[in-house]
Amino acid sequence: NAGVTQTPKFQVLKTGQSMTLQCAQDMNHEYMSWYRQDPGMGLRLIHYSVGAGITDQGEVPNGYNVSRSTTEDFPLRLLSAAPSQTSVYFCASSYSQREGRQETQYFGPGTRLLVL
Amino acid sequence: GENVEQHPSTLSVQEGDSAVIKCTYSDSASNYFPWYKQELGKRPQLIIDIRSNVGEKKDQRIAVTLNKTAKHFSLHITETQPEDSAVYFCAASEGNNNDMRFGAGTRLTVKP
């Protein structure tokens, strides 16, 4: 299994440009999520999905859109990039909560985004 | 919502010494506390976790303790090695990954 994969690894955008960060997993996980990681702030949840066709907002959703048309893929779209969105983005996946126990999240390798 | 504070932000130890990282959380309903290790330029990886019905958990050289009354939990690494050098993150949640909140991280450096 490849686990969680992300593309691209690195991207430079100009302010106002749009782009899509790709995330895919081959572990048949129902739950997928997007985080951003900024220096001194840990990981913050942007959006998440508990299954195909279902998405919801996390802690910092503004400026980002997501969709979940398949179990495997969970792309993150930046509609109009801003310098404040310069960050490292991680996708993660897990099984949905089973038997009342929280499931381990597995992270992708990350996408480093620079917005000029 | 949950707020997680982590200390110290940086920690430097001599190889063979022990390292302790502490986290506090605000939501008394939180019941799951994972610790992640992130090497430079790599993804976060789970190294150990603890649930609220357990006070301590150990896995070889790493251990985690939980004090629910005081709302704090700690990561203990014994006999540190240079390959333990990384950023460590704690997190807390009520039982769902979508409500998990992370600490700001601790950069651990183990000097040979």
Which chain A residues have a beta carbon less than 8 Å from that of B49? 104
Query: What is residue A99's predicted lDDT score, i.e. its pLDDT?
Result: 65
Which chain A residues have a beta carbon less than 8 Å from that of B51? 101
Query: What is residue B106's predicted lDDT score, i.e. its pLDDT?
Result: 97
Alpha-carbon distances of B71 from A40, B24, B27, B92, rounded to whole Å: 22, 6, 8, 10
Contact: B105, A33; criterion CB under 8 Å? no
Q: What is the pLDDT of residues A38-89, one digit of tens each?
A: 987 889 999 999 999 999 999 999 999 999 999 999 999 999 999 999 999 9
- Shortest distance, CA B96 to any CA of chain A (angstroms): 6
Alpha-carbon distances of B95 from A44, A101, A102, B109, rounded to whole Å: 17, 7, 5, 32
pLDDT at A100 over 70: no
The predicted model gives B97-110 an average pLDDT of: 93
Q: Is B105 on the interface with A (CB under 8 A)?
A: yes
